[in-house]
Amino acid sequence: MHSTEWSDEAFCRIIEDFPVLNREVNGKRLVYLDNAASTLKSSTVISKMTDFYLNHYSNIHRAVHTLASEATSEYEAARDKVARFINAQSEEVIFTSGTTMGINALVNSLVRSDILQKGDTVLISQVEHHANLVPWLRLSKFFGFKVEYIEADVTGTITPDSILAAKSRVNSPKVVSITGQSNVTGQTMPIDVIRETFKDAILIIDGAQLIPHKKIDVKALDIDFLVFSGHKMIAPTGIGALYGKRALLEKLEPFLYGGEMIDKVTFEDVTFNVLPYKFEAGTQDIGGAVALGYTIDYLENFGLGNIQKHVEELSKYLLEELSKIDFVEIYGPRDETHQSLVSFNVDGVHPHDVSQVLDEDFGIATRSGHHCAQPLMSVLARGSHIDFPNSTVRASVYFYNRKEDIDILVEGLKYIKRWFG
């Protein structure tokens, strides 16, 4: 693979735009490897967002004065940018607070619209984040649909055989809702294979981990719904998007009611606004949506292809270097589908202790815990060769990381084993 390690000049420009990378943590240069939880923020995007709030902000769609017109224009321009980013139509893009809200909105709307009914089956995988598991599981108790799983092997990997086994076991699922990339194992899911295998199902993709570093074409992949969060792609927290095919969105009953999403209200009933406003009740996170648009501009100007190649190379290097350490147990696949993050444990050392020492002695930010995927932890425990603590350490990279960051991580892990192992 052609190396995409940034030149010193290019990396200096990145450092300028992410000033926290100049910070020292406990006397060490910050090494930020917690990108799967949330990415760092760009001073360029924040400056543009600040200018919007200070000089152009007003509530949108509801007035004809200049500020309202400017704010509405910026807000709708951001929607257009998201639509172009995923190859959708603007009216198919709904702003949300993030992936979790997007999935909850879909589950509630599907049952309210009688599209998902008692006796129907929803198929998800055993590697899902709680955001794509708990809503289905809980509402199945109230509405009578069933939840089935594509089973993972003991490494937490979804294999072609497990997809076929799910097809033979589950009789025509009404909905297939699956992560585009696991936030625990790093596995990038074969969306095209899943679409082909379950042709008649409504396909929902949790794109939280995938969208930040991989171009997704919702039309080419024939995705029915896609949800993602801005904060995992250098945008502010509290903003995300839900994409849905127009024909399906037209059929859905909104799950949130209030202002703006209505057409006409009487004392007897209500008719809804046109898409996408039908699903955007109340005052939205206007500044967040505008900043998400700025973020897309930033990433596209930086080069999405460059970002993807850089993350792929770092992912490969991270996996290779951790695989060389005999006291480290790695979870997930060991091939090119393993992207952007690695979850692992150090034999004999609790993951919380690993993360704490990495922070205190090396300035490295990692994540430890069950990563909002407790059921998956029970799967990984079955295949573990160490005393599995039902949690892991997770190191995750983004385009502002370098191989040097991974080298420091490896040094830190060896230090921990010498002192605690």
Active-site positions? 372
Tokens representing residue 65 in the block: 């004065």
Task: Show the CA angle centred on residue 335, arms to residues 330 and 341, nearest 5°.
Answer: 50
DSSP 145-201: -EEEEEPP-TTS---HHHHHHHHHHSSS-SEEEEESB-TTT-BBP-HHHHHHHTTTS
Q: How far is CA 51 from CA 54, 56, 238, in A?
A: 5, 7, 19
Q: How far is CA 85 from CA 224, 294, 399, in A?
A: 16, 12, 18
Q: Are 312 and 1 in contact (CB under 8 A)?
A: yes
Q: Is the dihedral of CA 124, 129, 133, 135 positive or negative?
A: negative
What is d(CA 61, CA 82) in angstroms, rounded to the nearest whole number?
19
Long-range contacts of 135-141 (CB under 8 A, 24+ apart): 135/103, 135/104, 135/107, 135/108, 136/107, 136/177, 139/107, 139/108, 139/111
What is d(CA 253, CA 274) in angstroms, rounded to the nearest whole number?
12
Tokens 């995007």, located at residue:
45
Tokens representing residue 233 in the block: 């792609």
Q: Are strands 28-29 and 341-346 parallel, antiparallel or unpaired?
A: unpaired
What is d(CA 151, CA 32) in angstroms, rounded to the nearest whole number?
32
Helices (H) and strands (E) in the chain, counts: 13, 17
Nearest to 126 by CA among 341, 379, 342: 379
Q: Are 136 and 147 in contact (CB under 8 A)?
A: yes
What is d(CA 403, CA 307) in angstroms, rounded to the nearest whole number?
14
Write the DSSP symbol of residue 5.
Answer: P
Which residues, 6 or more positions from 384, have their beta carbon under 8 angstroms from its beta carbon? 329, 345
